[in-house]
Amino acid sequence: MSLLLPLLLAAAPLAQPPAAPPAQTDAEAPVDWDKEFGVVRKERDPVTGEIPLDPYPQSAANAGARPFGGEAMARAFGGQAGIRRITDRTLDLSMADPRIKAIFAEHDMVRLRRTLFEQVCYILNAGCRYSGRDMKTAHKGLGTTRADLNALVEHLQEAMREAKVSFPAQNRLLARLAPMDRAVTER
């Protein structure tokens, strides 16, 4: 026994190293599920930051309301800079509102910021062309309700109030937007 122990200890370093993990099989290789399901992800335009849309008919009528005449409304909203602040603020408040923020997730908010500004600027006759889609097409499939619309209008009113737009001017814009309710809601 006393002779056997040193012999065993000397032999220990010769023991086999632990087996290497088995090479990754096909079943474990990462799968590109987008490719498998044929999902095409459109890249953002490097200049505008927008996700390009397929071509659609463009027309001022897509704005959904005729523009005001004269300059009074554009002035009441602080010109293009004032309108930009109001439409941006409306979207910021909407995207932070737990009642409706999920509707905006996954949509191109860079484009929506631009097109909502263009639309309001065009209607207020503040020198813009509206290049977006018509309201029905743009909101198709969103499943928005009248309650969602009320929430968005609340935020627009808050944004106009903060920008100190007079009440008569606020109401004149809201009256032009109101007839779009059927086109922008689905339930």
User: What is the 3 state secondary structure string of 111-132?
Assistant: HHHHHHHHHHHHHCCCCCCCCC
Q: Which of 113, 139, 155, 176 binds ligand HEM (CB under 6 A)?
A: 139
Interatomic CA distance for residues 60 and 37, integer angstroms: 38
Measured distance CA(165)–CA(170) in Å, rounded: 6
Question: Does 100 help bind ligand HEM (rule: CB under 6 A)?
Answer: yes
For ligand HEM (CB under 6 A), the number of binding residues is 22
Quote the CA–CA distance of 142 and 94 in Å, as a whole number: 15
Residue 84 or 111: the one with the smaller Cβ distance to ligand HEM is 111
CB of 115 to ligand HEM, least distance (A): 4
Residue selected from 93, 116, 159, 173 as contacting ligand HEM according to rule CB under 6 A: 116
CB of 90 to ligand HEM, least distance (A): 9
152 binds ligand HEM (CB under 6 A): yes
Task: Using the minimum distance from each CB to ligand HEM, give the nearer residue, 93 or 149.
Answer: 149
Q: Rule CB under 6 A: say whether 82 interacts with ligand HEM.
A: no
Q: Is 72 helix (H, G, I), strand (E, B) or coil?
A: helix
Looking up tokens 């409706």 gives 100
Q: Under the criterion CB under 6 A, does residue 180 sit at the interface with ligand HEM? A: yes
Residue 83 contacts ligand HEM per CB under 6 A: no
Encoded tokens for 126: 């503040």
Q: Is 77 in contact with 163 (CB distance < 8 Å)?
A: yes
126 binds ligand HEM (CB under 6 A): no
Residues sharing a CB contact under 8 Å with residue 91, sequence separation 6 or more, in sequence order: 104, 109, 112, 113, 116
Query: Residue numbers of the site for ligand HEM (CB under 6 A)?
Result: 100, 103-104, 107-108, 111-112, 115-116, 119, 132-133, 138-139, 142, 144, 148-149, 152, 177, 180, 184
